[in-house]
Amino acid sequence: MPAYNTIAFHADRCDGCGKCMIACAQAKSASDSPRRARLEVLADDAGRFELTMCRQCADPECVQSCPAAALAKNAATGVIEWDHDKCIDCLLCTVGCSFAGIALDEAAGHVVKCDQCGGDPACVRACKPGALEYLTMARIYDEAGSLEDLFVQGLSACQGCNTELIMRHTLRRVGPDTVVAAPPGCVPGMGAVGYNGLTGTKVPVFHPLLTNTAPMLAGLKRVYKRKGRQVTALALAGDGGAADVGFQSLSGAAERGEEILFLVIDNEGYMNTGMQRSSCTPYGAWTTTTPVGRESHGKSQDAKNLPLLMVGHRCAYVATASTAFMADFYLKLDRALQASKTGFAYLHVYSPCTTGWRFPSKKNIEVARKAVESNFVLLWEYTPAAGLRLTRSVDDPVPLSEYLVALGKYRHLTPEQVAHLEQHIAENVAAIKRHALAEAAAPPASTRPGISSAGALQGPPASQA
């Protein structure tokens, strides 16, 4: 069964302005009266807002309650469609619906319901605070679900491994005309590059040195291009190989604009070899080489900001992503893939490690989400033409403690260390904002990549110059 796009309501962002209802009434009833709208925002006594609108149920009761077959769920869009010609105005659909998603419009004399404006909801467009959001995750679910999983079942990753999730999603999306290079780390460690004659990957896969993933792929890609063949060169590298010992070759390939999709899975250290420190390990974090003892209390330096360093290379595309924000991740994956056809595309995906960071495996996505919500991890993207822009607001973060408390590797932190981290995050946010502002001054906003209101991808960043 396919998934469908949906209109989400973030009550905490709603200011009750009512513009959504007016926009709906205008779009659907040629009226300025919110009473003619097909959605209603209501305030309770405490000033909190609730939304009433059709939820486009998967198993809609209204459809079953219609004696005239005037309601039907569109299998392609998921929208429950109402047929004026068939409707007999019996109102039985309004009995079937528990959400008041279909209701009598007295002025019209018949029932009305939300049809999502054919994929470009007027209410969402009118909602300035972003309380209404048109979620197009369904596209991902349906598309990714229909694509072949190019890794075998049962890779030997740790329970709840986020990296496996990233790998599988990435390769599904990137597709079979791909050569994967996975330098030493968790990706090969879980069997992706093959072991004793068996391989866990259905596309050609290579286990390069920790140091030479990018140039090895560069050579490969150049030859295929020379032969006129479309082959995606995909690196699935860890933060250690990319930011530390492999940084030179990564930098070189980026500078030369090699047409590679270089995806870094950042689990903040050498998790595969037993949780040693890398330059991406955050300040204060326990690792086996930054242990907690009488004289030291975890890592004493801040993490290297590798994605920002890649911006310094003016890559065709640079972005950070998190599996807690899959729509964003997929969007960036699409753009990175597109950009990799003409230049170096760099995607930095944060990947909490249940084993190395010391937290229960079931909490992986929660940890990933808290990392972003607390600004410990910032989500942004960059193209040379459009510059850097935050893809998720950094304003109003949740307290850092909500993130730190979940992780064993920060259990020992002193208040001073927490303060240091908070300071570091503040500096990070400021730095990224400065970048974003500086870049924003240059090109017109219309050239920026982003989701159009219809939820469709705009053209690839590389073609927006």
Contact between 56 and other proteins per CB under 8 A: no
Contact in structure between 321 and 331 (CB atoms under 8 Å): no
Contact between 106 and other proteins per CB under 8 A: yes
Separation of alpha carbons 443 and 451, rounded Å: 18
Between residue 340 and residue 359, which ones bind other proteins under the rule CB under 8 A? none
Residue written as tokens 């990137």? Answer: 174
Pick from 383, 329, 323: nearest CA to 350: 323
Tokens representing 445?
A: 């906003």
Contact between 240 and other proteins per CB under 8 A: no
Contact in structure between 350 and 377 (CB atoms under 8 Å): yes
Does the CA dihedral 282-285-290-295 come out positive or negative? positive
Out of 148, 177, 402, 427, the only residue in the binding site for other proteins (CB under 8 A) is 177
Out of 56, 178, 278, 354, the only residue in the binding site for other proteins (CB under 8 A) is 178
Between residue 107 and residue 126, which ones bind other proteins under the rule CB under 8 A? 109
Using alpha carbons, list the distances in angstroms from residue 136 to 106, 125, 221, 326, 331.
32, 14, 33, 11, 10
Between residue 190 and residue 219, which ones bind other proteins under the rule CB under 8 A? 193-199, 201-209, 211-212, 214-219
Separation of alpha carbons 270 and 241, rounded Å: 9
Separation of alpha carbons 327 and 136, rounded Å: 7
Environment class of 1 (CB within 10 Å of its CB; exposed 0-12, middle 13-18, buried 19+): exposed
Complex with other proteins: residue 206 or 270, whichever CB lies closer: 206
Report, in Å, the least distance between residue 446 CB and other proteins. 36
Out of 251, 289, 447, 453, the only residue in the binding site for other proteins (CB under 8 A) is 251
Contact between 253 and other proteins per CB under 8 A: yes
Q: Quick check: helix, strand or coil at residue 435?
A: helix
Spell out the alpha helix ranges (H) of 358-454: 364-373, 400-404, 415-441
Which range in 65-73, 236-244, 325-333, 336-344 contacts other proteins by CB under 8 A? 65-73
Contact between 152 and other proteins per CB under 8 A: no
**Contact string (CB under 8 A) for other proteins, positions 83-102, x = contact:** --xx-xxxxx-xxxxxxx--
Dihedral of the alpha carbons of 67, 68, 73, 74, in degrees to the nearest 10: 170
Complex with other proteins: residue 221 or 277, whichever CB lies closer: 221
Report, in Å, the least distance between residue 35 CB and other proteins. 9
3-state secondary structure 298-329: CCCCCCCCHHHHHHCCCCCEEEEEECCCHHHH
Complex with other proteins: residue 131 or 407, whichever CB lies closer: 131
Contact between 395 and other proteins per CB under 8 A: no
Report, in Å, the least distance between residue 364 CB and other proteins. 25
Contact between 42 and other proteins per CB under 8 A: yes
Report, in Å, the least distance between residue 298 CB and other proteins. 31
Which range in 18-26, 38-46, 338-346, 453-461 contacts other proteins by CB under 8 A? 38-46
Tokens representing 420?
A: 């240091």
Complex with other proteins: residue 29 or 65, whichever CB lies closer: 65
Contact between 310 and other proteins per CB under 8 A: no
Contact between 400 and other proteins per CB under 8 A: no
Complex with other proteins: residue 7 or 217, whichever CB lies closer: 217
Out of 104, 137, 327, 440, the only residue in the binding site for other proteins (CB under 8 A) is 104
- Terminal C-alpha separation, the chain: 39
Complex with other proteins: residue 99 or 141, whichever CB lies closer: 99
